[in-house]
Amino acid sequence: MRIKIKNECFFILFISVVLLVLIVFNVSGTLPVALGLPFVLFFPGYSLIAALFPARGDIDGIERAALSFGLSIAVVPLLGLILNYTPWGIRLYPVLLTLLVFTILLSVITVYRRNKLSFEKRFVVDLNLEIVKWGSLSRLDKILSVVLVGSIIFAVGSLYYVATSPSVGEKFTEFYILGPGGKIEGYPWDMNAGEEKEVILGTVNHEYCPVSYTAEVRMNGYLKKRLGPFELNHEEKWEEPVSFSVNRPHENMEVEFLLFKNRESDPYRSLHLWVDVRE
């Protein structure tokens, strides 16, 4: 059985666009994975090889396939490294669009270079689906076949490991103050003596393990209120309104919010407000 594709670049771009649409609409299942594997592990390297070798006899099919996988494994991390130094960073959509633009540009170059050749010299995908005897292959083809199979196994294994064993990021705890309306505004900068003011104190656990927290409110170093202990699991959030008042006038009084982790004696996080107290 023979399969002949005159211009595989449009086929590659079609699959890439379909994958983009599936990801944008958050479609889950095996189809995005099935399209995403060649999009990352094969298309970038193949597009580069196609642009470099547009003629039919430049390299044979096994060399082209092996180099496509190998160059994809080399090109994708390089593009990710470049993205890391841009404002977009290494995120899903920047990586997806970067690989898509890279593939489109090289496909355009490929079509341009092939069109400059005569039809007989242009490379076309010609697959002869029959069992090839190992002994009939040349030494170079045998080496490239082993490299090709090894690259596929390594790439699929790496993706499986990354998907099933996500790396632990930086461990930290969010500790913040919001105004009475739950926004980053409306903080009490001045108040009357005896008047009660309120803020919202919040904590988010990013420690990748359950943590016990205690919060304290101090005014000019004196303990006014203690909250907790309360335990949060990883990515769990705690918010609670906290009120405070002062009986005497004071200019530029420090209202200090302290967060303690796992009953430690030293504060883990601290926040401050400075309030003018009038008579």
**CA 181 – CA 241 distance, rounded (Å):** 10
Please identify which residue in the block is written with the tokens 């008047």.
195
3-state secondary structure of 55: strand
Where in the sequence is the domain holding 232, given as residue range(s)? 172-278
Q: Provide the domain count of the chain.
A: 2
| Cα-Cα-Cα-Cα dihedral sign, residues 17, 23, 28, 33 | positive
Residue 118: name the closest of 60, 61, 56 by CA: 56
Are residue 60 and residue 37 in the same domain, yes or no?
yes
Which tens digit of pLDDT belongs to each residue from 36-92? 888 988 999 999 999 999 988 888 777 888 888 888 988 999 998 898 888 888 888
Burial of 271 (C-beta count, 10 Å sphere; 0-12/13-18/19+): middle
CA angle 63, 65, 70 (to 5 degrees): 90
pLDDT at 226: 93
Are residue 154 and residue 216 in the same domain, yes or no?
no
| pTM: predicted TM-score of the whole model, two decimal places | 0.51
**Does residue 3 surpass a pLDDT of 70?**
no
Please say which residue of 164, 187, 206 terminates a domain. 164
Are residue 179 and residue 156 in the same domain, yes or no?
no
Are residue 146 and residue 180 in the same domain, yes or no?
no
**How much is the average pLDDT of 144-158?**
70
Please say which residue of 139, 164, 189 terminates a domain. 164
Mean pLDDT (the chain) is 85
Which tens digit of pLDDT belongs to each residue from 30-40? 888 888 888 98
Which tens digit of pLDDT belongs to each residue from 207-254? 989 999 999 999 888 898 999 899 999 989 999 999 998 888 888 899
Q: In CATH, what number is assigned to the domain containing residue 243?
A: 2.60.40.10
